[in-house]
Chain A
Amino acid sequence: MLRIFAAVQTLRAGHKKDNKNKKITAKKGPIKAAFAVGIALFSASSLPAIAAKKVTEIPLHYLRLVPEARPVLSNILPPPKDLGEAGAELAIADSNTTGRFLGQHYTLNSQRFDEADALLKAAESIIKKDAVVLVDVPTALMAQLDKQAKEKGALLFNVANPDDALRTSQCLNNTFHTYPSRSMLTDALAQWLAGRRFSQWFLIAGPTEGDQAYLAALKRSAKRFGGKIVDEKSWSFDTDLRRTAQKELPLFTQAEDYDVVLVADEEGDFGHYVPYNTWLPRPVAGTQGLTPVAWHRVVEQWGAAQLQSRFIRQQERNMQSEDYAAWAAVRSVAEAVTQNRKDPKAYEASHIQQFLLSDKFHLAAFKGHKLTYRDWNGQLRQPIPLVQPRSLVSQSPQAGYLHPVTELDTLGFDRQESQCEMKNTL
């Protein structure tokens, strides 16, 4: 009995101390030795059939512009430094586990910049023929990088920019978007609000470009799903709300009767203080309160619990939307390469792009749906969880919103509303 106990204890201890190599140490000598060899040689030695294969290296790049953050009022929880990168790293690890059976090895070269010029300079040497690059940059830079990618024959993945313009008017022909657009997020919220009959909306928006874009997305969603905007206010106060929220916000939220307050405050400047401080006792949603996201710790259905625990174990923090988008980008590439592994062109950027846009591609991505790309603008279709800090409230599209192609296209700008024609430009 003691032995069992000891084995289990070893196991648990292993869980805590050593994350990378969690094998139970077998007691029998020869087996133990075999394990050690297996580990040392990346397990290939125990798989004679596979060890013989030639290993193909698949390098991926990641460029991030992280300018110094503007000071915000609610500066209590700073975003993690490796936001997004951590998701890509997990996907690289996942793909390498598969890759060792197929003779593929993925690597990631992540670079962070605080100035656009430095990033552009680095991009010159990275964006080359057949390069696959994940990017987290503002819209203007996005367009420049895409132009380079087109000239050189590279492929980009936008893993953090929600700008609707990039999906509708400023079409990027060599860039896929794994991060949802603002309109996808607000449509997801609006569908749920309509289902709950929270139809009278009171909007509050901050002054930044992002806040105004989010506000525009909310207004579009209101029109689309029957929300009525009873009032709209701009946030311009500059008091420290941790001390005076109780006094400021009730007055600020006086308006005609509303069912819900919708906040557009992407940087979390004042929005976190709106819930519980509204003049009327009403729920708060949008960038704070009930929030539409690409990913959140509370998502656990459809096998998501496993992705979450892998991420937490590897990164020691919770997985966020940007991490998920980067994860999905790397997994998309790996899936394309795996499916076409017998084709010598499988590793070419144009080939990957074609495959991702074809009906042969789908991604298992823990959201209860297979995910595909919109072939006109390269946007990853995806369900949008609606979350609050400790629970999943719902996931859109809501039941009953039908679409001739896929119900996922009830979220965001549809084909007819976009000028982009990615597939036709290949």
Chain B
Amino acid sequence: MKMLTTNKMLKQLRNLPAKAGLSALMLGSLALANPAAADMAYISNEKDNSLSVINLDTLEVVNTIDVGQRPRGIVFSKDYTKLYICASDDDTVQIMDTRTGQIIANLPSGDDPEQFALSPNNRHLFIANEDDALVTIVDTEKRDVIAQIDVGVEPEGMAVSPNGKIAVNTSETTSMLHWIDTETHELYDNTLVDQRPRHVEFNKDGSLLWASSEIGGSVVVINTENREILKKLRFEISGIHPDRIQPVGVKLSADGRYAFVALGPANHVAVVDAKSYEVIDYLLVGRRVWHMEFSPDQKRLLTTNGISGDVSVIDVDKLKVIKSIKVGRYPWGVAILPTEAMNQLQAER
């Protein structure tokens, strides 16, 4: 039913005189959402089937957008015109038009898409199908499945290297990183890591890969070239039982200075010196912290806290949590739309 409606809607849109029609039809949501130009953070609320939009100047929720069922991973296209949303329980990746906040298409994603990564070519989405032990590669232009690759049980984390040549997937129950050649679509190596690997993140030049293991309680740094583990990080917070320290999200600052590691039910984010691999600090955030994203100027880091249903804002220079913002139920993913991109989108109208 839903598919049909979307298809119909798209057909109608196509028949309208291009841009004039679009803006006339759907002025609304972006304008309403952004009374003043500011960076906007989009948060997926897993148990509310919605996105919360946060204005990063005022640090307030300015809009809530209804999306498909159980939204988890979200990522913007490189030109920010589209937001891709894993609607896990709808077994689809939805495409939202950033300008209008409307869902304009559903991609054939394979079952239960959880996380994904967009290739630097802005075209290929690498999707982890958690229920099927598959990685699905989708061409977002043709809206077609290019390939599906067998991986371990419960594939979760996805990352594509900055040069676009390597995709890495983590499989939680198999406890492996799967290395995929993006040209041949073949698995060319597997790296066994600690239990329940959740997230992978390349450094800026793609020479290193950081991978978190939730139940193993560790983060490894891997040399991308030979897939050797260079360093295994462990975390320790006084007063918190080691079992509760469960690393999930990892974010690396663009200047190569810090790595931030979200520690799940330990309710802390670890700050790691990305060169010496020393843990510098632990920042208390909301409950069950999972994913994170930097503001475009890298001055702030946002964390999604599932159980407390809020987003913590970290001041990256001071390494202090400055605010928590109530969003929907079980916030999961976060993607940020920079002011410039938004201005451009509005100008294009």
Question: Taking beta carbons and an 8 Å cutoff, which residues of A are in contact with B?
Answer: 1-5, 7-9, 11-12, 15, 22-24, 26-28, 31, 35, 38, 43, 46-50, 94, 97-98, 101-102, 303, 306, 309-310, 313, 335, 338, 362-364, 368-370, 406-407
Contact = CB atoms under 8 A, between A and B. Distances in A.
Contacts of A362: 195, 215-216
Interface string B1-19: 0011001001100000000
A370 B108 contact: no
A94 to B, nearest CB: 5
Contacts of A28: 146
Contact of A11 (B108, B171, B215, B241): B108
A94 B110 CA distance: 19
Given A11-B110, A303-B154, A370-B243, A24 B148 contact: yes
Contacts of A49: 187-189
B74 interface: no
A406 to B, nearest CB: 7
Contacts of A102: 192
B134 A306 contact: no
Interface residues of B, number: 53
Interface in B58-89: none
A38 B150 CA distance: 9
6 contacts: A4-B108, A26-B145, A46-B187, A303-B154, A362-B216, A364-B215
B108 A8 contact: yes
Given A303-B172, A406-B241, A364 B110 contact: no
Given A24-B136, A364-B196, A7 B131 contact: no
Contacts, number: 124
A71 B10 CA distance: 61
Contacts of B150: 38, 43, 46
B147 A8 contact: no
Contacts of B171: 97-98
Nearest to B149: A46
Given A7-B145, A94-B153, A24 B190 contact: no
Contacts of B131: 306, 309-310, 313
B340 interface: no
A66 B186 CA distance: 47
B39 interface: no
Nearest to A28: B146
A47 B179 CA distance: 11
B144 A364 contact: no
Nearest to B147: A31
B309 interface: no
Given A9-B3, A48-B186, A98-B176, 8 more contacts: A1-B7, A12-B91, A23-B148, A47-B186, A49-B189, A50-B190, A364-B172, A364-B195
B55 interface: no
Contacts of A3: 143-144
Contact of A5 (B4, B130, B174, B196): B4
A368 B265 CA distance: 8
B111 A22 contact: yes
Contact of A97 (B7, B152, B215): B152
A102 B131 CA distance: 21
B214 interface: yes
A102 B192 CA distance: 10
Nearest to B172: A303
A4 B107 contact: yes
A23 B134 CA distance: 8
Contact of A24 (B108, B133, B216): B108
**Of residues B154, B216, B217, which shows the largest number of chain A Cβ atoms within 10 Å of its Cβ?**
B154
A98 B186 CA distance: 17
Interface in B165-218: 171-176, 185-190, 192, 195-196, 214-217
Contacts of A306: 112, 130-131, 154, 172
B132 interface: yes
B270 interface: no
Interface in B116-169: 130-134, 136, 143-150, 152-154
B314 interface: no
Contacts of B185: 31
B108 A7 contact: yes
A407 B241 contact: yes
B280 to A, nearest CB: 26
Given A15-B91, A97-B174, A98-B175, A338 B192 contact: yes
